[in-house]
Amino acid sequence: MKVLKFGGTSVGSPENMRMVMKIITDGEQKLVVLSAMSGTTNSLVEISKHLYNKDAQAARSVIKALRDKYDKVVDELYSADHYKQKGAAVIAEVFGLLEGLTSKEFNEWDEKVALAQGELISTRLFTLLMEENGHRTELLPALDFMRVDEERAADMEAIETLLSEIMAGTPKVKYYITQGFICRDAEGRIDNLERGGSDYTASLVGAALDADEIQIWTDIDGFHNNDPRFVANTRKIDQLSFNEAAELAYFGAKILHPQTISPARVKNIPVRLKNTMNPGDGGTLITTVSDGTGIKAVAAKDGITAIKIRSGRMFMAYGFLKRVFEVFETFKTPIDMITTSEVAVSLTIDNTKYLKEIGSQLLQFGEVEIDQDMSIICIVGDIIREETGFASRVFNALDGIPIRMISYGGSRYNISVLVPTSHKQTTLQTLSDKLLNE
């Protein structure tokens, strides 16, 4: 069985939903993971912000605008009045729930319930569309099998067990539908896999089912060698290895949620990226195989904070780095990049929730310098096979860019540099011009 995930734009209008229906109804059994219609999760985030600020009126006006949009969707999506009524009932139920949230003390669990509504609506409306068009379809509620543990990490064992139980008890049909992004936490409360998480759902479900292939259908024809939102003349890559794709996704390539590759890589399941608007294109295939050598692609991750700890007495003392790392462990804050010199260590984080606490604890080791608004630029390829000259080509290309940190040698697949976010676009464009498109 294949697992196919369709993103926000792919289900973003009645016309696009019909396109998705056409793509999936080829007679082969499959499980289809759907995102919320584009813009919906952003609106739900906005509603939640207003409710945290106790501005119920502002929340209600965003709810009203969103509801108007869905009323139109329902009207255009179905032909028969009977289905229009069923669709309208879904909308009435979901918007009744959202309205209800505006007249109570709003907390983080309510926010997660609100954020889950986008995927809950899109999958119910899409299932009705399939039924109206005579395709036997089963909606498998993601909240019944998608689980995260106490650390909010995917609970693969629970997902595997629950999903196989549910599949066994569900009528055998060609087309199964489920929600991306949403899950339950270790205590059974509604939670999510973070923004963009539907890709990760597809990969977790694909791994749980030992799928033949995981397909991520989106609004672009595959993985490009640079970020098309910031750089002109990007090019699609036909084939990437799991390792290359994982580095690019982790370091900011928005086309894939950062953790998407990991479950697929463990089970060695091919991941294919495809364009819903151009289904005939082969897209990008991600497997153990990397084709070609040298520099393949670059990606950028924003919102990075660099922390430098300078200490007179550090490197004489083994155990120093351990004590530094323990501070980050205490505050459950992962480190992305690290570099050292005789007197200082620099590292980066992207989760700044405990920045103040981390900063003050690090003061015990010496001077602490913090730079915010930085971006990691990650340059990926099969670097070892490129033999000599890789680093010099990268640094020649980056001539004139203020680099704050460099990380090279951590893996054979990437070299990362840290630059101020204000220089991100120039850095990406320069790398395309001088390295990728020579």
- The residues that touch ligand ADP, with contacts defined as CB under 6 A, are 7-10, 35, 196, 218-220, 223-224, 227-229, 253-255, 299
State in angstroms the smallest separation of the CB of 346 from Mg ion: 31
Q: Report whether 397 contacts 431 (CB < 8 A).
A: yes
State in angstroms the smallest separation of the CB of 228 from ligand ADP: 5
User: What is the per-residue DSSP string for 246-257?
Assistant: HHHHHTT-TTS-
What CA–CA distance (Å, rounded) separates 201 from 226? 25
Nearer to ligand ADP, 345 or 415 (CB): 415
What residues from 187 to 226 belong to the interface with Mg ion (CB under 5 A)?
196
What are the residue ranges of helices labelled H in 102-214?
108-132, 156-168, 198-208
388 token code pair? 């000599």
Residue type, 365: F
- Residue 220 binds which of Mg ion, ligand ASP, ligand ADP, none (CB < 5-8 A, kind-dependent): ligand ADP
What CA–CA distance (Å, rounded) separates 158 from 163? 8
What CA–CA distance (Å, rounded) separates 213 from 159? 18
State in angstroms the smallest separation of the CB of 323 from ligand ADP: 38
321 token code pair? 């780095």
**Residues contacting 225, CB < 8 A, separation 6+:** 234, 235, 236, 237, 296, 297, 298, 432, 436
Nearer to Mg ion, 7 or 252 (CB): 7
Nearer to ligand ADP, 227 or 382 (CB): 227
Q: Which of 113, 118, 102, 167 is nearest to 139 (CA)?
A: 167
| Helix 14-24, helix 108-132: angle, nearest 10 | 60
What CA–CA distance (Å, rounded) separates 327 from 361? 7
- Residue 180 binds which of Mg ion, ligand ASP, ligand ADP, none (CB < 5-8 A, kind-dependent): ligand ASP
Q: Which residue is nearest to ligand ADP (CB)?
A: 7
Query: Does residue 258 bind Mg ion (CB under 5 A)?
Result: no
Residue type, 389: G
What CA–CA distance (Å, rounded) separates 329 from 346? 16
- Residue 9 binds which of Mg ion, ligand ASP, ligand ADP, none (CB < 5-8 A, kind-dependent): ligand ADP
What residues from 4 to 23 belong to the interface with Mg ion (CB under 5 A)?
7
Nearer to ligand ADP, 223 or 390 (CB): 223
Q: Report whether 181 contacts 192 (CB < 8 A).
A: yes
State in angstroms the smallest separation of the CB of 106 from ligand ADP: 27
Nearer to Mg ion, 211 or 216 (CB): 216
By the criterion CB under 6 A, which residues form the site for ligand ASP? Answer: 7-8, 35-36, 41, 118, 180-181, 195-198
- Residue 228 binds which of ligand ADP, Mg ion, ligand ASP, none (CB < 5-8 A, kind-dependent): ligand ADP
Nearer to ligand ADP, 301 or 308 (CB): 301
- Residue 36 binds which of Mg ion, ligand ASP, ligand ADP, none (CB < 5-8 A, kind-dependent): ligand ASP
Nearer to ligand ADP, 258 or 263 (CB): 258
State in angstroms the smallest separation of the CB of 5 from Mg ion: 9
> Buried b / exposed e across 30-41, counting CB within 10 Å, b at 16+?
bbbbbbbbbebb
Nearer to Mg ion, 196 or 420 (CB): 196
What CA–CA distance (Å, rounded) separates 312 from 366? 8
Enumerate binding residues for Mg ion (CB under 5 A). 7, 196
